[in-house]
Structure 1
């Protein structure tokens, strides 16, 4: 649709007038090359490979013409006088006024062809056919016919002595006019009947429209409720998933100072370490007792520091726990690491270290985690990267971390780590004591 008409259009600033349709800008577009504006519909009518500004003839590519939303917003306060009635207001309200008060304002207006005979109603071209059927137009037609009839009778009286047969022609014309009059009267009756039916149908349509509006509103309310319910369900699902993850983590938490860490997806994690996408990984936290120290391990699969590219580096991390206030620091218990040989040979890689109590790594944690400390050269990469090595099976590796509170002799460690980890801890401890006694007897 082109721009808008208004009674005061000639008093407006030219920047508010479209240079194409000479009306008030509607959905203004700005030509970036020169700054001039035109209606969006006027640009579409002239949409070519290269567009020329109709005001200054500056060429512009189509992509250099864009909606000027800021200018459109400024125009909304423009004072206007309706071109079809006495309404006055601002552009923001003018659109709504035209739709409500002049729903057919966009149509071209023409005068009736019988304007000279008294049918002076101005009608849009699209509604002209309906106008011809109106009572007003048909009454004008009857008046026109009566006028012609009167003039014809006057002419007949002035030519009664003619012998050319005009009297018979005029009589036929009179009869035709009478027939036309009776036909128009019948047509008017039919129109009255049609109008009564139209009124009835309008009432039905209004009733149906109200019903449809109520149904639509009900559907919108139901849709809003379903959408809100869906969002709530999504939130609940996320919470359930989070809780399930926490439950699974708690099931795996150890409270006896030992933890068997399964590292799945080993090859991918090793490649991440090589490429430095992720140089280290952490084990889940575990505890020395239900109210004891909180700990975890940190593994550099491709080595750290001087051990980079030659060894796996394995470290111990002391974490801030809920009961640190009643625990003894610095932490000074021996830590043992074991990389499991997953074959019957059980040639585990075992190494231990004792904490340096002067190091900040073993003081009471003041942040979530202390600095990791442990064994930089824990296992040779040449062995771990070897195809078919006994330490990686089904793309998984197992590492056991043991905080030794009982000062287990180093010679007993291979036996301790060969015990079935699936046995309860008290059974393992019993077997360890029995083995220690046996060895003491043999040594004596």
Structure 2
């Protein structure tokens, strides 16, 4: 999209506003365009025109044209009031007089002033002169043309933010009404989607779409109310179903009749043809007998011939009689088969309709039950998590972790199904560090397959910005002997250089602890009870030292020493 760089020559005079005077003298005005004369020429009658205006009036014709100024003044002179290219001459006197008049440039933003003879040169070179935009046709100052093409031209091409298609800016509003990638809202269910998906959603997916009752009544039902509608109108729907079944039976009868008609017609035609031939033969036999009686048996040869023909006819009749019987039996068999097919098709149609209705009902009930079960499962999981957090949450830096179903957890670890289990979270205070423990029933790292591994894990908490980092509190890990003979205890202080004890950047840091915490052989020793009634108890304690800007016990800020 580009604009012309060369100034477009005007075909009319100069704008009236270029002269400093409020109203220019009429002798400086063109009698056609009524603007300030541009390259003035004068007619024999004394009226002045712009050179371009005169050429526009006369064109390429050699005929004379009446001066319209003379007509307006009611001073038409047959000798001088005609315009002709051979009688017009440049008016240099008025041009010199105009050249001394003070004028100004009227292009927006231009402050040029001077005499008129210099204005023509300035008009061509003025940086504020208007250029016609080839896209929209507007006259724009040359200095602003680039900005016009980029930001204000109504015919500039812009990219649709939804489908990335290039559209004229002036057409963008209408394009957005039909853009297939634009986001719109279903008026029925308020679900947002792309415009190209709305037809499928409206016809097949929207739970609030309006559809005719599938049972045949004239009601239009919202899809999510269809089940209720069907249950409330069972007698009416049975009536419509019966009518539809009867109509289907009639159509099946008609179709069977159409299929059977050609076969029946063929059989009937063949029977008629055979009957006609038998009648012809019978008439031939009768004529032969009559002729023999009339002759009085005068010629023996004729009697023998007639007898032979009669015998032949009887043989043929006897031959056709079995064929006729077979044909009648075939016709009766066809009729019987047609009746059986009709009955079978009618029964199958009824059974199929009943089966389809039953399948649809069961499918709808199954979908409703699945949705209800999903909602219940989600709520149950949320409640379990909430109750577990409320039950086990501690804010004194001590965790007593009850691990139930330990045998199953160890079996899962042996098979690789679930190798570790996490404890509930606990805290050093209501505004303190968030922590948990991680236990490997079949060991991890160096202790895999030989020991139970126990680790301490720092988690991302809500108040980490108020706490001192890295984590420096002493941690004690204890496996409780439920016979109270010998607990397994390990204590460590965090390594400040380890990433495990820096401020968590994800949900939890890398675990740190003891991969060789409890030998599996000791777990099986009957004199100890680290697992009793399939339950194991682990204690984690954190000693809290007051070197944080926040007192973890009282939640008060501590002044620096």
Larger radius of gyration: 2
* Larger RCO (CA under 8 A, 6+ residues apart): 1
Q: TM-score range by the shorter chain?
A: 0.3 to 0.5
